[in-house]
Amino acid sequence: MSDTPSKPTPAKSHGRKAIRPTLKPRELMTPTPDLAGVWKAKILTLFPTAFPGVLGESLTGKALQEGLWQLETIDLRQFGVGKHRNVDDTPAGGGAGMVLRPDVLGNAIEHAMSGIQGNWPLIYLSPRGRRMDQKMMQNLARCDGMTLLCGRFEGVDERVLQHYGIQEVSLGDFVMTGGEIAAQALIDATVRLIPGVLGNQASTEEESFSSGLLEHPQYTRPAEWKGREIPEVLMSGHHGKIAEWRHQMSEEITKTRRPDLWEAYSREKGES
């Protein structure tokens, strides 16, 4: 045997901090616990690890790290009832599935809204709600923040929606397994309108729906690709003609693809 003392085995690095259950909401990707005066989204969910998800990438993720907006997740399970922290029960009157309990949701909502001041809507992601549109996002971006309730199973007890005056908002005319994806879509579409997030305010002014029309076609280099060329007017350098062409294309596309938007646009244009 060698007399040389053996070296101690180095501790393994797992690369992540341990995450333990806590009643205190866990904030993601924010350098400080709270930033005064900064727009914030609070998420009530059974799946807090679903966030920030895609919101932590690209420009929204960069803006989140820079403190241009904030994200806080609140785990509904922490407000569950009994040893197993139950959050749901069978539907009154019978039927398939489970319904999120009002006592659980009430405690979670009051925790989330405690100390909230200013213009701060409380929203439930629901297929029976008002469909999301650009005007909604513009209004939400002007708020101080918002709290989103992500449903699961067969939904939430109706008394919760009535008691707290919760707004119901839908991603579209279809049903999903939960509200988390819809919540991310709502946040993404809202956050990008916050000054400084995109870095170029003109981007939000020229895109689809901002003028009531769908956006015109976009092109970039190379000038010719697979026998298709960039429209000549876009290469002319004549800004007036370019603007005129883009507006004309927006009208044509909207009229063809979204008759509902075209009708509303034409009506508003005629009244102005």
Kindly report, residue by residue over 19-28, the tens digit of the pLDDT: 333 344 444 4
What is the reported pTM? Answer: 0.82
pLDDT the model gives residue 28: 41
149 occurs within a structural domain: yes
118 occurs within a structural domain: yes
Token pair 């929204």 is at which residue?
Answer: 60
How many domains, the chain? 2
Check: CB of residue 79 under 8 Å from CB of residue 45: no
Q: Predicted confidence band at 271 (pLDDT cuts at 50, 70, 90)?
A: confident
- Looking at the chain, the whole-number percentage of residues with pLDDT higher than 70 is 84
Kindly report, residue by residue over 80-130, the tens digit of the pLDDT: 999 999 999 999 999 999 999 999 999 999 999 999 999 999 999 999 999
Strand pairing category for 88-89 and 26-27: unpaired
pLDDT the model gives residue 272: 65
150 occurs within a structural domain: yes
Domain stops at, among 158, 191, 224: 191
CATH number of 142's domain:
3.40.1280.10
17 occurs within a structural domain: no
pLDDT the model gives residue 20: 37
Check: CB of residue 191 under 8 Å from CB of residue 197: yes
Instruction: Please say if the pLDDT value at position 2 is more than 70.
Output: no
Concatenating the DSSP letter of every residue in 26-89 gives: EE-S-SSS--TT--EEEEEES-GGG-SGGGGSHHHHHHHHTTSSEEEEEEGGGG-BTTTTB-EE
42 and 155 assigned to the same domain: yes
Domain that holds residue 258: 207-271
In DSSP terms, 156 is beta-bridged to 100
pLDDT the model gives residue 263: 96
Instruction: Please say if the pLDDT value at position 253 is more than 90.
Output: yes
pLDDT the model gives residue 17: 34
85 and 153 assigned to the same domain: yes
Q: How far apart are CA 23 and CA 21, in angstroms?
A: 7
Q: What average pLDDT does the segment 241-267 reach?
A: 96
180 and 135 assigned to the same domain: yes
Instruction: Please say if the pLDDT value at position 219 is more than 50.
Output: yes
pLDDT the model gives residue 84: 95
114 occurs within a structural domain: yes
Between these two residues, 61 and 20, which has the higher pLDDT value? Answer: 61
pLDDT the model gives residue 11: 44
pLDDT the model gives residue 25: 41
Output DSSP code: residue 210. T
pLDDT the model gives residue 207: 62
Query: To 5 degrees, how large is the angle CA 153–CA 51–CA 103?
Result: 40
Instruction: Please say if the pLDDT value at position 270 is more than 90.
Output: no
Kindly report, residue by residue over 155-213, the tens digit of the pLDDT: 999 999 999 999 999 999 999 999 999 999 999 999 999 999 998 765 666 666 768 89
Check: CB of residue 169 under 8 Å from CB of residue 130: yes
pLDDT the model gives residue 36: 86
Q: How far apart are CA 250 and CA 216, in angstroms?
A: 5
60 and 151 assigned to the same domain: yes
